[in-house]
Amino acid sequence: MATSQQELVRAGYNIIAKDYLSWIQQRPTAHHIKLQQILSHLATTSKVLELGCGAGLPITKVLTQHVASVIANDYSESQIALAKANAPLAEFIHGDMTQLEFAPGTFDAAVAFYSFFHVPREKHEALIKDIHGWLRKDGLLLFTYSSHAEEGIYPLFLGAKMFFSSFGTEQILEIVQSCGFTIVEQEVRAQGNVEDPTDPDNDTSFLWVLARKM
């Protein structure tokens, strides 16, 4: 069952979906590099799960251009509506990512760009265990995470209240490994404009993790 914090995230993105898309497309983020990295490990016949697809750009659309099947999930109705228009070749599932169910060994890879930290951190281990089960042998998991521990509601994120929750780098890496993954690559990258106090990512750094199912 979704928590009140997750409902706040859903409502927030329903308000700011279009503004968020415009904002993220202008960001000097690493997601293009990381996406190409995981694509280099996948075949054209691969099946990929995306958790927190947002408006479907650029990740969902690019995935559909390189692999056979993409199932994309988001909890925001506004985001799903945009994603269906922007990446029509994907299959979309609206709902709480922690409540999804798939048969064991369904996917070759799972990706989660800027989404895990919108789920309460007490649910992160169970979610990662679920993903491990959904992946085939040697399947890959690529995700973004806050590099520092945090939990709370930000009163103004692009015009809406938003919830963030993370354990930080050391603890989440331990959780990923305890769930049956080996770490292929981990990298902390700074993001945001430190000279702009209104930038939501001001002085923020993200942990990027690529892990393989053992």
What pLDDT score was predicted for residue 54?
98
Tally the domains of the chain. Answer: 1
Closest CA to 125 of 176, 173, 168: 176
**Residue range 147-156, pLDDT digits in tens:** 999 999 998 8
The answer, yes or no, to whether the previous bond of 200 is cis (omega within 30 of 0) is: no
d(CA 133, CA 10): 26
Q: What 8-state DSSP symbol labels residue 50?
A: E
Q: Which residues of 121-137 are buried (b: 16+ CB within 10 A; e: fewer)?
A: bebbbebbebbbebbee
What pLDDT score was predicted for residue 24?
85
Closest CA to 192 of 208, 204, 182, 179: 204
Taking 50 as the pLDDT cut, the residues of the chain under it are: none
What pLDDT score was predicted for residue 111?
98
**Residue range 96-126, pLDDT digits in tens:** 999 999 999 999 999 999 999 999 999 999 9
What pLDDT score was predicted for residue 197?
62
Contact predicate 40/109, CB 8 Å: no
CATH at 35: 3.40.50.150
What pLDDT score was predicted for residue 96?
98
What pLDDT score was predicted for residue 31?
86
What pLDDT score was predicted for residue 112?
98
User: Which segments within the chain are labelled E, that is strand?
Assistant: 47-51, 69-74, 91-94, 107-112, 135-146, 150-157, 160-166, 181-191, 204-213
Q: Which domain holds residue 74?
A: 4-213
Three-state secondary structure call for residue 190: strand
Task: Please state the pTM of the whole predicted model.
Answer: 0.94
What pLDDT score was predicted for residue 192?
60
